[in-house]
Amino acid sequence: MSPGTAPILVAACGNAMAGDDIFGHLVVERLKTAPAPNIEVIELGANPARLIDRLADRDTLFVVDAAWFPDEGTGRLIDVDWFDPDRPPLMSESLLSTHGLSIADQLNLARRLDLLPSIVRLIAVTIGGAAVGDAVDTALRASADAAADIVRRRAARLEEPSHA
């Protein structure tokens, strides 16, 4: 990271009271337990609108969230470039968020305001559903460990001299 550049922002979404939608919170816990020096972690909860205020001077953003795939079940990790035209759609695009306000809408707004970092990754886990009071699937906990490892590895790669 060059002097004056903000650290990589890891923004986790989700409702910790809604079963598998706790995924983002679980990843945050793991990242805080074993932090990487070049990342800043924020928990947006079910309010992705708080993201916009944190994007100034960022080169890189990782969004961590649960992705609703009712026919697939819980536990498959998704790690995709946000700008990839083949990435899975999110709720504002008719599929994947459990939030009333969509993280996809926030990222699209950030793009229009010229605040969106040049590198944005979606790191998500597939879930079959999430409702307040639901139990957390055991596969989700292992996926949270793996997602935290993905964040750390990607952050370390971005810090290598070839990316500076």
CATH number at residue 48: 3.40.50.1450
102 is a domain residue = yes
pLDDT at site 163: 54
2 is a domain residue = no
Can you state the percent helix, strand and coil of the chain, rounding each to 5? 35, 20, 40
The three-class DSSP label of residue 100 is coil
103 is a domain residue = yes
Does residue 1 register a pLDDT over 60?
no
Does residue 15 register a pLDDT over 90?
no
Residue whose C-alpha is closest to residue 104's, from 80, 130, 127, 77: 80
Count of domains observed in the chain: 1
The domain in which residue 82 lies consists of: 8-131
Does residue 90 register a pLDDT over 80?
no
126 is a domain residue = yes
pLDDT at site 92: 39
160 is a domain residue = no
153 is a domain residue = no
73 is a domain residue = yes
72 is a domain residue = yes
The two three-digit tokens of residue 71, written as one number: 């026919």
Q: What is the mean pLDDT of residues 18-23?
A: 80
Does residue 100 register a pLDDT over 70?
no
Q: Rounded distance, CA 96 to CA 89, Å?
A: 6
Does residue 24 register a pLDDT over 60?
yes
Does residue 6 register a pLDDT over 90?
no
